[in-house]
C-alpha cells in the first residue's frame, strides 16, 4: 500500500526531498497561500510544530496558487512565511493541488481521504494528518483552526 514515504517533493530551497525522511513521524500536510485569509493560521501551525516535534511530529507546507492567492515565487514565500509568521517547519516548492497537474502527493492524499464535497480541494489551508504508518488519519477543512487538531495529533502520537 502506498504511504507518504513513497513520494518526493522539491523543497522551497530547490532540493529534492524524499518524504520517507518523515517515516515514523506524525505529519500535518497543509496547502498554504500567503495572501489567503487563512494565512493567519501559520503562527498556530508553527506552534503545533514546535510543541510536538520532539515527540515525532512535523508540519509540511505546500504553497499553491491554484486559488490565485500565492503570487510570490518560492524565495519570496520562504522569506514572507519566516519573517511575517515565524515559520520554520519544512516548506516545499509551489504545487498544484487539483487537476491533471496536481502534485502526486496531493493526488494520493485526496484518494486517501476525500472531503465533504468529494476529493477536490476547495481552498487553501486544507489539512491532512498522516500517522506514523504513513497513512492519512484525517482530513480537515481550511476553517479548522490548528488548535482544534491537538486531540487528534495527541492520539496519533500515541
Would residue 56 be called left, alpha or beta, if left means φ above 0 and alpha means ψ between -120 and 50 degrees? left
**Edge-to-edge strand ranges of the sheet holding 57-63:** 57-63, 26-32, 127-130, 136-140
Q: Residue 14's pLDDT is what?
A: 94
What are the residue boundaries of the structural domains of the chain, listed by start?
4-157
Q: Residue 115's pLDDT is what?
A: 64
Per-residue pLDDT of the chain (158 residues; tens, 9 = 90+): 999 999 999 999 999 999 999 999 999 999 999 989 999 999 999 999 999 999 999 999 999 999 999 988 878 887 777 777 778 899 999 999 999 999 999 999 999 987 666 688 999 999 999 999 999 999 999 999 999 999 999 999 99
Strand, helix or coil at 29?
Answer: strand
For domain 4-157, the CATH architecture is: 3-Layer(aba) Sandwich (3.40)
State the catalytic residues.
Answer: 36
Amino acid at each position: 500500500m502506498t504511504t507518504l514515504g513513497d513520494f518526493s517533493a522539491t523543497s522551497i530551497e530547490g532540493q529534492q526531498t524524499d518524504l520517507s525522511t518523515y517515516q515514523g513521524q506524525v505529519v500535518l500536510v497543509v496547502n498554504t497561500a500567503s495572501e489567503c485569509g487563512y494565512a493567519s493560521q501559520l503562527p498556530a501551525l508553527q506552534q503545533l510544530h514546535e510543541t510536538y516535534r520532539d515527540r515525532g511530529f512535523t508540519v509540511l507546507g505546500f504553497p499553491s496558487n491554484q486559488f490565485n492567492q500565492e503570487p510570490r515565487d518560492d524565495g519570496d514565500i520562504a522569506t514572507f512565511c519566516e519573517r511575517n509568521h515565524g515559520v520554520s517547519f519544512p516548506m516545499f516548492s509551489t504545487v498544484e493541488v487539483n487537476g491533471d497537474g496536481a502534485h502526486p502527493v496531493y493526488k494520493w492524499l485526496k484518494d486517501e481521504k476525500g472531503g465533504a464535497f468529494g476529493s477536490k480541494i476547495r481552498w487553501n489551508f486544507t489539512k491532512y494528518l498522516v500517522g506514523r504508518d504513513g497513512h492519512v488519519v484525517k482530513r480537515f477543512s481550511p476553517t479548522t483552526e490548528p488548535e482544534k487538531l491537538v486531540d487528534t495529533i495527541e492520539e496519533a502520537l500515541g
